[in-house]
Structure 1
């Protein structure tokens, strides 16, 4: 209940700022923004049309701009950065986490990137260079270097005194990593253990030697799956020699999971998962036109198959009325399977060992659904048109298309994954093409064979 109240208050505050901005009360808006959390300012910017966004950004306190940039989606952030002076961008990145800094710098055009790097202090430049040295989408690009490491031969009391002298811990710290003199990972000591065990015990006596580490080259999606299965709050990142390089925290993993979910959802519609809702009309039109063009090509392919049966449609016009039923049912059935398989691949449920079983299962489901709906449509058409043969023709076509839809829905994402093509992006188009062509060919081809004199 308190969370719901807080959300309502945030929405009311955002609405109030929007009204004040439209009324030209810029001083009032600046004061309100100064008391808002960076995440709420980011939400306000993402919820504002293009022109209002520019005005809002100018009213955001310069000390908050770096934190706000961290919270923005890539498309919105790039639009704001494009209008900023490189020196201001460099200043805004001073307190950014390493992973957020690398993500932002990667999105900059080369000319602006060089100017921003040149405007940075030497320490920040080194930090940026290190963060950018890891491949995008890897554990290295996701990690932060703000780790606290301790030696195994000291006592817990020494560690506690060290932490008190340090005065603070990095955000999201739930355990300290134990390393040797060469910085090789040995294990971890949780804060709960540190606070509850006898302070005279050594770190070696209480550390968890079986604590898992993450290879710096591991894909971020695999890292997210590990966090989900192990219920981690943080985890150390190591290189090939087991040297501790940094750590990944749960807040970064939440972003990965959200981005993966948005990517799958938006890709199925041919959209960029970071696309700005309020992007300029021409920019949005260009992005969507590409996908519409692809769909037009697939529709023309289905129409080309149908053109082989023009004479059949001329003689039996009733086929034109019924022709859309079979491809439509196949498309829905195939989409169900496709979505299920893509989700299974995303969460790591599908692997080489169970792919054959999955294909067999979907083949069986397609056959059972095919028989069920074939019988139903046969009865409906036979009674509607008083034509038993026509009912059998559409029943056969329905059975064949649902069977093909089940096989295609399961196999297409697996095949696309093997050739490094995103199943969420291309799977729907290929599936629709298959079900349309198989449905039209099965229905009109069978009708031509059995119904024409």
Structure 2
């Protein structure tokens, strides 16, 4: 049976597959996919080759495993494979896929194809999937799985054990959810506690009132915070009436945490976390061109500010040389604060409730670092140009720009959030523009006033 593959061995497999695809000798691929690879490893290898070769590799995956492999792929690659699948092929391929993964896959298909596929599914599967599709995919309802075990609080342990022997148990299975006669969530019964209890004991007497249920409408990032805060392995999901409708397991939450981290990192460069690194060149160029255009526009804003001081720069050439130093120092200081704020907001540690503390803290950091580097850069300017007045101007500009930068980095994420704009996506480009504009304005403005 295939087991988890270490990174070095997986790299060797990748090398063998690339060599086989380039030489048209595909026998090594067949051997590899038949005996040695887990579903997760197959998905990883599919994501590691150009899109034009994925169809070749896909053909070597056992048909019984294709559904699970498909569920493990990134959305961008899922879409490419699903586009070429008929609704009938989709239903046959995904018959063993969990309902929550099935719902996610359907949302990656063209609308017409997904509707047809839904109609072709067995009644029980269709009912589960339709229930999940009723919730946005980035909520607890979209994350949850309806495969779970629940029992009433007024039955005995012996009854529960007898019930479990007849049921197909979900994976993972570590806890039983306890409900009342109307299926309202009451608490949980750990499997370990179940096995240690006496057969005649009533479930209500041995159950725990934790974990607290998660509302189906809760945002997925809030779900991740709850799992992290309380060290949960699984958690119940309830509707607005408190009825138990599903459960979320830690593997789903790990995916959310990874996706959020990827999103925050990729958004800084205007990229999507689901972008395929092996997508066609033209498509990738088109996707990136928009962000480059936005950066061009912001660069011209900074250039326009500099153009207002052309006369000053013409008289003192050193201003043109030193202006980027002021802008760069502000940009770095602001980016540090912005990254800290976005991370803190994502984990729930920074909110409007403690924003005033963060403002004072970051201003303190800005004043200390601003003063330190103003002194250093001022000293370098004196040594380089031999002009004390120029050194004092740039030192003042450095201090002011760093303080403005950290203040902007603190407040900007909250402002963007208030207008429904993702701070991770737009924060860096807006902050860079602000620090460039204020840096040039402060330095060149002070130089015009005091040096000319």
CA contact (8 A) 1:155 1:203 kept: yes
CA contact (8 A) 1:137 1:219 kept: yes
User: Which residue of 2 is the match for residue 191 of structure 1?
Assistant: 191
Secondary structure of the residue aligned to 1:324 is: helix
Distance in 2 separating the partners of 1:71 and 1:263? 18
Larger CA deviation: 254-263 vs 356-365? 356-365
Secondary structure of the residue aligned to 2:257 is: helix
Distance in 2 separating the partners of 1:207 and 1:32? 47
User: Which residue of 2 is the match for residue 115 of structure 1?
Assistant: 116
CA contact (8 A) 1:26 1:59 kept: no
Q: State the 1:5 CA deviation.
A: 7.4
Distance in 2 separating the partners of 1:9 and 1:301? 51
Secondary structure of the residue aligned to 2:177 is: strand
Distance in 2 separating the partners of 1:160 and 1:4? 33
CA contact (8 A) 2:4 2:38 kept: no
User: Which residue of 1 is the match for residue 164 of structure 2?
Assistant: 163
CA contact (8 A) 1:98 1:143 kept: no
1:202-246 per-position Cα deviation (integer Å, ceiling 9, x unaligned): 211101134311111111110110000111110111112211101
Q: State the 1:86 CA deviation.
A: 2.3
Secondary structure of the residue aligned to 2:188 is: strand
User: Which residue of 2 is the match for residue 81 of structure 1?
Assistant: 82
User: Which residue of 1 is the match for residue 321 of structure 2?
Assistant: 321
The runs of 5 or more residues in structure 1 that have no matched partner are: none
User: Which residue of 2 is the match for residue 146 of structure 1?
Assistant: 147
Distance in 1 separating the partners of 2:120 and 2:160? 38
Secondary structure of the residue aligned to 1:428 is: helix
Distance in 1 separating the partners of 2:166 and 2:108? 39
1:327-347 per-position Cα deviation (integer Å, ceiling 9, x unaligned): 000000000000000000000
Q: State the 1:28 CA deviation.
A: 4.4
Distance in 2 separating the partners of 1:27 and 1:114? 38
1:249-286 per-position Cα deviation (integer Å, ceiling 9, x unaligned): 00000000000000000001100010001000011001
CA contact (8 A) 1:155 1:201 kept: yes
Larger CA deviation: 222-231 vs 12-21? 12-21
Runs of 4+ aligned residues of structure 1 deviating over 4 Å after TM superposition are none
Distance in 1 separating the partners of 2:210 and 2:60? 50
Secondary structure of the residue aligned to 2:186 is: strand
User: Which residue of 1 is the match for residue 385 of structure 2?
Assistant: 385
TM-score if structure 2 supplies the norm length?
Answer: 0.96
User: Which residue of 2 is the match for residue 69 of structure 1?
Assistant: 70
The runs of 5 or more residues in structure 2 that have no matched partner are: none
Distance in 1 separating the partners of 2:89 and 2:27? 22
Secondary structure of the residue aligned to 2:109 is: coil
Distance in 2 separating the partners of 1:150 and 1:141? 24
Give matches, 1:397-416, under 5 Å. 397-416=397-416
Distance in 2 separating the partners of 1:175 and 1:125? 26
Give matches, 1:427-442, under 5 Å. 427-442=427-442
- How many aligned positions are there? 449
User: Which residue of 1 is the match for residue 55 of structure 2?
Assistant: 54
Give matches, 1:46-445, under 5 Å. 46-166=47-167, 168-445=168-445
User: Which residue of 2 is the match for residue 23 of structure 1?
Assistant: 23
1:111-159 per-position Cα deviation (integer Å, ceiling 9, x unaligned): 3323323433333333322211112211000000001011222222222
Distance in 2 separating the partners of 1:239 and 1:185? 10
Secondary structure of the residue aligned to 2:217 is: coil
TM-score if structure 1 supplies the norm length?
Answer: 0.96
Secondary structure of the residue aligned to 2:353 is: coil
Distance in 2 separating the partners of 1:402 and 1:321? 19
In 2 relative to 1, CA 91–155 (structure 1 residues): closer, same or farther, beyond 3 Å?
same
